Amino acid sequence: MTIKFTEEHEWLRVEGDLVVVGITEHASEQLGDVVFVELPEPGTKVAKGDEICVIESVKAASDILAPVDGEIVEVNEALSDNPALVNEDPLGAWFFKMKVEDMEQLDAFMSEEDYKDFIG
């Protein structure tokens, strides 16, 4: 299983021809307790850098950006009902799965080791 990390503190896990996206433990700690998650509509076509999710914590609102070009095929409705999952299990609390035309887009992202160096 391949897992990659972005500079925006997202994790990307490859499942077949899909990429599953969540936020890192570091990001969830920085955000604080998450109280609201707004998910995109399945079927939405997105371009890299689009703001596609909103995460509201007790402190502030922040966005999840589309890490690559593709199409949202599934979202994790459990997060709408229980946003605290993002803090409890950041690596398990996926936000959306996207179909990616060109998996090579993922090569540019950091490995787990590189990400650990990145957050210092």
**Which residue in 52, 21, 17 sits closest to 37, CA to CA?**
52
8 A C-beta contact, residue 24 and residue 118:
no
41 near other proteins, judged by CB under 8 A:
no
Question: CB 11 → other proteins: shortest distance, Å?
Answer: 21
d(Cα 65, Cα 11) in Å, to the nearest integer?
12
Residues 6 or more apart whose CB falls under 8 angstroms from that of 89 comprise: none
Closer to other proteins by Cβ: residue 87 or 105: 87
Contacts (CB under 8 A) with other proteins, residues 59-78: 59-61
Closer to other proteins by Cβ: residue 48 or 59: 59
8 A C-beta contact, residue 77 and residue 105:
no
From the list 3, 54, 106, 110, which residue makes contact with other proteins (rule: CB under 8 A)? 54
What is the binding site for other proteins (CB under 8 A)?
32-33, 35-36, 38, 54, 56, 58-61, 80, 84, 87
